[in-house]
Amino acid sequence: MSDAAQPTIAEVRAAAEAVKAAIDRHLEAVSSPSAADDPAVSAAYEQLATAAIAYDQLLYEVYDEVTPFEVPGDEGPGGYHGPEQPEAISVLIRRDYHVVDPKRLRAQAERLDDSLTPGGGGEAGVNAAIGVLFGEYEPDEIAARSEEFGLEEADSTLWVAAAEPTEPGEWLPEPFDHADPQLLICRFDVSEVYDDEDLDD
């Protein structure tokens, strides 16, 4: 989450209407005579998934409630192949940032680590500053305070996947090598590209 204003009830209502409209478009596409080979079906599916995710997120932020819908991404043929009652889950998060104000980024790090100050003998470079900040703050706090740290939020995604219980430290050497799309229970994407698609619509 960023420091932007919280969504309003009107925005939740607008998102609900967008889901309704997307359902109508999807039904119209799949019921057309050429539905089997019509790219409009795929487009309608993606629009419906995007609208449903947006509504679910706003609903949670405003009312602390969720929908019963699960909208995985592109899982490939066959869809979800994981267990109905997984013994464990893995949450994989990727957040991208643009470094828009290196000076502010370094200043924040210098407040935490004296060795980064000009008189402290260390190198107050961007890489060093990033290491200090991510070593001091939880990723969620950095996301919430990104502007304060001279960062600008870009695309982000969160995957929740079924997993086998593991021993402590078992997967740490290769933490991101076993993300299986067929075990994906749900995913949530945040990107300006979705805003652009809404404007196109």
The rounded percent of the chain whose pLDDT value lies above 90 is 30
Give 12 or 124, the one with higher predicted confidence.
12
pTM summary value: 0.54
For residues 21-32, give the mean pLDDT. 89
3-19: pLDDT as tens digits: 456 788 899 999 999 99
> pLDDT tens for residues 91-114?
999 999 999 999 999 999 999 987
Q: What DSSP letter does each residue of 126-192 carry, written as one string?
A: HHHHHHHHHHHS-HHHHHHTTTTTTEEEEEEEEEEEEE----TTTTTTSTTTT--GGGEEEEEEE-H
